[in-house]
């Protein structure tokens, strides 16, 4: 079932990581109006508040979204829904590492799967600040490891693993970077392998909405 135009716009805004006030700046609309549309507010004559095409263009530009899909959801045009992505809620505490691939896609690696989405440069700058504030360390450009989940370091292969058996998913780290981040890596290795609950288990869930690319089969 389709979301309403308000529900869809709210998901888009949240997936961008925008507050209402930042969304207002990006769309050149008032934050009050944006929220009224999201909540399915009523217009002057009691009808549902449906943005007109020119306003939807502002939303599309501000949220890096499909104008045609917004027009369809608002009822201005007919057509089949676009299936480029789906909204997924993901707990960042379960992400092993995040990488930016050669196509500028953000790929979230979890234990047995991955998700991916596209981000604009502006959104990525906000995103980078966000993940670094939540315990992700940039190993090299475009590669961020969740320190709260690392369990072992193999100095011979230069790999950080997320279990104690040196198996499964890993993040490569050069000898130079391993020396540079030696203290913080060893701190988290001791902490994550202590007999107490791991920091990740103690962390409150940090749920974010992303636009998972449906057609992506495997990261390249």
pLDDT digits (tens, 9 = 90+) for 25-73: 999 999 999 999 999 876 555 567 899 999 999 999 999 999 999 999 9
* Amino acid 101: pLDDT: 87
Q: Does 194 reside within a domain?
A: yes
pTM for the structure as a whole: 0.87
Quick one: 94 and 69 in the same domain? no
* Amino acid 177: pLDDT: 95
Q: Three-state DSSP class for 154?
A: strand
Q: Does 220 reside within a domain?
A: no
* Amino acid 200: pLDDT: 46
Q: Mean pLDDT throughout 111-123?
A: 91
Task: Give the number of residues written for the chain.
Answer: 220
Q: Mean pLDDT throughout 107-136?
A: 91
Q: Mean pLDDT throughout 198-206?
A: 61
59, HSE (Cβ side, Cα atoms, 13 Å): 31
Q: How far apart are CA 132 and CA 45, in angstroms?
A: 47
The pLDDT of residue 217 is above 90: no
* Structural domain that includes position 200: 89-213
Average pLDDT of every residue of the chain: 90
Q: How many domains is the chain built from?
A: 2
Q: Does 50 reside within a domain?
A: yes
Quick one: 165 and 94 in the same domain? yes
* Amino acid 198: pLDDT: 47
């Amino acid at each position: 079932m389709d979301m309403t135009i308000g529900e869809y716009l709210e998901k888009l805004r949240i997936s961008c990581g925008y507050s209402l006030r930042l969304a207002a700046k990006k769309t050149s609309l008032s934050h009050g109006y944006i929220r009224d549309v999201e909540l399915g507010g009523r217009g002057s004559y009691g009808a549902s508040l449906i943005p007109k095409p020119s306003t939807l263009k502002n939303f599309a530009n501000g949220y890096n979204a499909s104008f045609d899909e917004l027009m369809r959801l608002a009822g201005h045009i007919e057509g089949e829904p676009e299936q480029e992505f789906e909204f997924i809620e993901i707990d960042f505490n379960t992400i092993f590492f995040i990488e930016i691939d050669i196509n500028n896609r953000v790929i979230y690696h979890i234990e047995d799967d991955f998700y991916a989405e596209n981000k604009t440069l502006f959104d990525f700058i906000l995103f980078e600040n966000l993940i670094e504030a939540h315990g992700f360390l940039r190993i090299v450009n475009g590669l961020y490891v969740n320190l709260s989940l690392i369990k072992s370091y193999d100095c011979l292969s230069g790999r950080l693993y997320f279990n104690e058996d040196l198996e499964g998913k890993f993040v490569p780290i050069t000898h130079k970077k391993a020396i540079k981040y030696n203290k913080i890596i060893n701190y988290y290795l001791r902490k994550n392998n202590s007999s107490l609950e791991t920091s990740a288990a103690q962390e409150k869930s940090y749920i974010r909405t992303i636009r998972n690319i449906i057609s992506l089969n495997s990261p390249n």
